[in-house]
């Protein structure tokens, strides 16, 4: 019994240590959960959840795990996004997708040094593999969001490159706005991309919470608007 108690106690100390270490590095802690309404044409079409889960081990290397889940009519998207613990560039992304009854399980493996993404797709009992060549570093929208929360300077006019597997965009901080989310008014920084595929609004309060995200879902013209925030 003493051995079991000691083992559990050591595990708890390790978890607390990791959480404190991350809180020193990042303005967000493991367990931070942001719940969004999926808005389409001003109407609520579903719900999404973005969770920062913290440090994990994958393929014998340390990574950070971000999960994103979206549910709407005839649409389900569950993503496990493993990012490099220092750069927040993706290492592996695993997706479970159901679009109008068509189910797909997708694995994306990123090799930034070689500039390639290996995509394995399982659908309808068939498995296919595709390799995309892309000069790195290769990005992901959610990895980018957390990287900006960590490193952004909040200076009007600052620019960021985001090289996605199929397109490149440039973000620019265009200014400050007031906006409503979660039944509250926030002061926020607005980052817009060129081409105008994405806009992200980050709260000015500590943590730079992503209050609203346009363009992240492959579901037509939709917005994610925060309706609930849990720090940890």
What is the band of 172 on the pLDDT scale with cuts at 50, 70, 90? very high
Distances (CA, A) of 160 to 73, 93, 127, 145, 174: 34, 22, 36, 11, 12
Q: Is the pLDDT reported for residue 2 higher than 70?
A: no
- Per-residue model confidence (pLDDT) at position 24: 52
* pTM metric for this prediction: 0.87
What is the band of 3 on the pLDDT scale with cuts at 50, 70, 90? low
> In angstroms, how far apart are the furthest CA atoms of the chain?
61
- The answer to whether the beta carbons of residues 28 and 20 sit under 8 Å apart is no
What confidence tens digit (pLDDT) does each residue in 53-79 have? 999 999 888 999 999 999 999 999 999
- Per-residue model confidence (pLDDT) at position 19: 45
């Amino acid at each position: 019994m003493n051995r079991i108690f000691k083992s559990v106690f050591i595990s708890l100390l390790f978890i607390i240590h990791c959480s404190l270490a991350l809180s020193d590095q990042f303005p967000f802690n493991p367990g931070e959960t942001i719940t969004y309404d999926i808005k389409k044409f001003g109407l609520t079409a579903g719900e999404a959840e973005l969770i920062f889960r913290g440090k994990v081990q994958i393929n014998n290397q340390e990574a950070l795990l971000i999960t994103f889940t979206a549910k709407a009519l005839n649409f389900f998207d569950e993503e496990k996004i493993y990012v490099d613990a220092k750069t927040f560039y993706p290492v592996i992304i695993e997706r479970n997708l159901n679009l109008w009854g068509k189910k797909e399980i997708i694995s994306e493996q990123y090799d930034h040094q070689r500039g390639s993404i290996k995509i394995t797709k399982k659908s309808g009992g068939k498995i296919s593999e595709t390799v995309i060549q892309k000069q790195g570093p290769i990005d992901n929208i959610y990895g980018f969001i957390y990287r900006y929360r960590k490193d952004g300077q909040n200076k009007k006019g600052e620019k960021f490159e985001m090289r996605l597997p199929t397109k490149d965009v440039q973000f620019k901080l265009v200014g400050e706005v007031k906006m409503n989310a979660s039944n509250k008014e926030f002061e926020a920084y607005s980052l817009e991309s060129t081409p105008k595929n994405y806009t992200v609004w980050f709260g000015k309060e500590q943590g730079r919470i992503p209050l609203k995200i346009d363009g992240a879902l492959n579901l037509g013209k939709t917005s994610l608007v925060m309706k609930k925030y849990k720090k940890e």
